[in-house]
């Protein structure tokens, strides 16, 4: 059985993602099973995703994936290297994956393989998909050498372009509260908007976040994931004491050396209490969704996976804490404990009221 994994944030899923999926199927065959390893409730740009992982899992299953696994918050809010290593680590532990498909600006596997042996400072900049692809290849060599990489060339505009990109979709919905024409899975968007679960925005917790940061010491910032040496900890500490808004906070800390994404990740990790220990620990195996053919793939996965969150509260305590903060960033904040009220999403048709859930042994 051909089982192909795709690592992604899907924040949100858009037509470029659907194109990648179609190209992957064309290369591997329509009978190939598909597994998504998807960021949970943090993303690489140092923010909360605009939709809950339940809503994004619904989109992924409707797109044709068979299984969806979680990339935990400490690993999703991370550098490209850490993000890739954690996600490939999940792929390796599942044991059933034969291929890993990813997008890149060039789509040239030979070139990407060559680049993956170079030091980071020699990697061409301005191609974020290529950077992730290179990190996937490095992680595969070390952790899952039997998994075959598949590169799909991106099409369309820039990664954060003004039309059709995930960034453009998020910006439009945050500004208008409406779903732009042509955005896939509009029915899911409408349900989430109507229920007040979207759009999620960390700005709704701006005061709380600034308050937490002002109580931190320089030593606290030094201990955060990805801070390392140099003067970054001191810049973060100084900005936290001066800024009156998140925009000002990021602007004061950012420099040419310290990118905006890195600054955001550091501050989000500080607010959420994400530690270096959690960011470097092996990620848990959490099942988020099962498609129509997912049960066939699960038979080939012999590593126990978490599918009932309430039965694994110790293992998911940090994830639940992140979800509780995300819940306060919804237009209609939800009560704490959303993590424990969630289950494994199954594909449509959904009953009245939204997605339904299944119980599995673990």
All structural domains of the chain: 3-198+286-358 (3.40.50.620), 202-279 (no CATH)
Rounded Cα distance between 95 and 80, Å, is 23
**Of 180 and 230, the one with more pLDDT:** 180
Q: Report d(CA 111, CA 129) in Å as an integer.
A: 14
pLDDT band per the 50, 70, 90 thresholds, residue 353: very low
Quick one: pLDDT at residue 120? Answer: 81
On the question of pLDDT at 223 being above 70, the answer is: yes
- Residue 230: pLDDT band (50, 70, 90) is confident
Residue 163 reports pLDDT greater than 70 = no
Q: What mean pLDDT comes out for the span 99-105?
A: 97
The conformation of residue 286, written as its DSSP 8-state character, comes to: B
The β-bridge partners of 143 are none
Residue 155 — very low, low, confident or very high, per pLDDT cuts 50/70/90?
Answer: confident
Q: Over 60: is that where the pLDDT of 351 sits?
A: no
Residue 124: its pLDDT value, please?
A: 85
Are 46 and 264 spatial neighbours (Cβ–Cβ below 8 Å)?
yes
Q: Among 31-35, 78-82, 124-128, which stretch is predicted with the lowest mean pLDDT? A: 124-128
Question: What's the mean pLDDT in 35-49?
Answer: 98
295, pLDDT greater than 50: yes
Is the CB of residue 62 less than 8 Å from the CB of residue 347? yes
Enumerate residues 6+ apart whose C-beta is below 8 A from 231. Answer: none
CA nearest 272: which of 329, 212, 217?
212
Percent of the chain past pLDDT 70, that is, above it, reads: 93
User: What confidence score (pLDDT) does residue 352 get?
Assistant: 39
Higher confidence at residue 157 or residue 64? 64
Stated pTM of the model: 0.94
Phi, psi of 138 (to 5 degrees): -60, -45
Query: What pLDDT was estimated at residue 164?
Result: 76
Write the CB contacts of 259 (distance below 8 Å, at least 6 apart in sequence).
Answer: none
Q: How confident is the model at residue 99 (pLDDT cuts 50, 70, 90)?
A: very high
Are the C-beta atoms of residues 311 and 361 closer than 8 Å to each other? no
**Which 3 state secondary structure label does DSSP give 102?**
strand
Q: What is the mean pLDDT of residues 176-197?
A: 97
For residue 33, count other CB atoms closer than 10 A to its CB: 22
Average pLDDT of the chain, as a whole number: 93
- For the chain, give the percent of residues with pLDDT over 90: 89
Q: What token pair was written down for 70?
A: 């979680």
- Residue 160 pLDDT > 60: no
Residue 320: count other Cβ atoms within 10 Å of its Cβ: 19
DSSP classification of residue 201 = -
pLDDT of residue 267: 98
**pLDDT range class, residue 157, cuts 50, 70, 90:** low
Please name the residue ranges forming H helices in the chain.
15-28, 53-63, 73-76, 80-94, 109-115, 128-143, 166-176, 186-195, 206-214, 218-222, 232-242, 246-253, 260-272, 276-280, 294-298, 317-327, 338-341
Query: For position 355, what pLDDT does the model report?
Result: 42
Question: Which range (29-43, 88-102, 147-161, 231-245) has the least confidence?
Answer: 147-161
Q: 273-283: b or e for each residue (b if 16 or more CB lie within 10 Å)?
A: ebeeebbeeeb
- pLDDT for residue 156: 67
What average pLDDT does the segment 38-52 reach?
A: 98
Does the pLDDT of residue 71 top 70, yes or no?
yes
The per-residue pLDDT for 362 is 41
């Amino acid at each position: 059985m051909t089982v192909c994994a795709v690592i992604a944030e899907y924040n949100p899923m858009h037509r470029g993602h659907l194109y990648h999926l179609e190209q992957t199927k064309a290369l591997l065959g329509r009978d190939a099973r598909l597994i998504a390893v998807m960021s949970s409730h943090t993303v690489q740009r140092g923010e909360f995703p605009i939709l809950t992982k339940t809503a994004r899992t619904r989109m992924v299953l409707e797109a044709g994936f068979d299984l969806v696994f979680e990339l935990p918050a400490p690993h999703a809010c991370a550098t490209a290297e850490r993000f890739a290593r954690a996600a490939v680590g999940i792929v390796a532990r599942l044991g059933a994956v034969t291929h890993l498909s990813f997008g890149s600006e060039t789509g040239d596997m030979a070139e990407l393989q060559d680049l993956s042996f170079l030091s980071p400072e020699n990697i061409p900049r301005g191609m974020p998909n290529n950077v992730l692809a290179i990190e996937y290849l490095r992680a595969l060599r070390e952790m899952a050498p039997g998994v075959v990489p598949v590169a799909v060339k991106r099409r369309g505009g820039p990664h954060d372009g003004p039309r059709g990109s995930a960034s453009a979709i998020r910006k439009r919905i945050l500004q208008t509260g409406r779903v732009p024409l042509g955005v896939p899975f509009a029915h899911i968007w409408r349900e989430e908007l109507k229920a007040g679960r979207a759009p999620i925005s960390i700005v709704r917790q701006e005061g709380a976040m600034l308050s937490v940061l002002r109580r931190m010491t320089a030593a606290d910032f030094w201990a955060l994931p990805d801070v390392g040496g140099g003067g970054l900890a001191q810049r973060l500490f100084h900005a936290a004491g001066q800024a009156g808004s998140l925009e000002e906070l990021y602007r004061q800390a950012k420099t040419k050396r310290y990118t905006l994404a890195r600054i955001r990740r550091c501050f989000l990790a500080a607010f959420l209490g994400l530690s270096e220990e959690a960011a470097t620990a092996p990620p848990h195996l959490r099942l988020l969704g099962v498609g129509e053919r997912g049960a066939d793939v699960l038979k080939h996965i012999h590593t126990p996976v978490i599918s009932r969150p309430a039965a694994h509260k110790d293992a998911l305590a940090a994830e639940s804490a992140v979800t509780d903060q995300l819940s306060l960033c919804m237009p209609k904040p939800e009560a704490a404990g959303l993590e424990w009220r969630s289950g494994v999403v199954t594909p449509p048709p959904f009953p009245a009221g939204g997605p339904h859930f299944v119980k599995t042994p673990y």
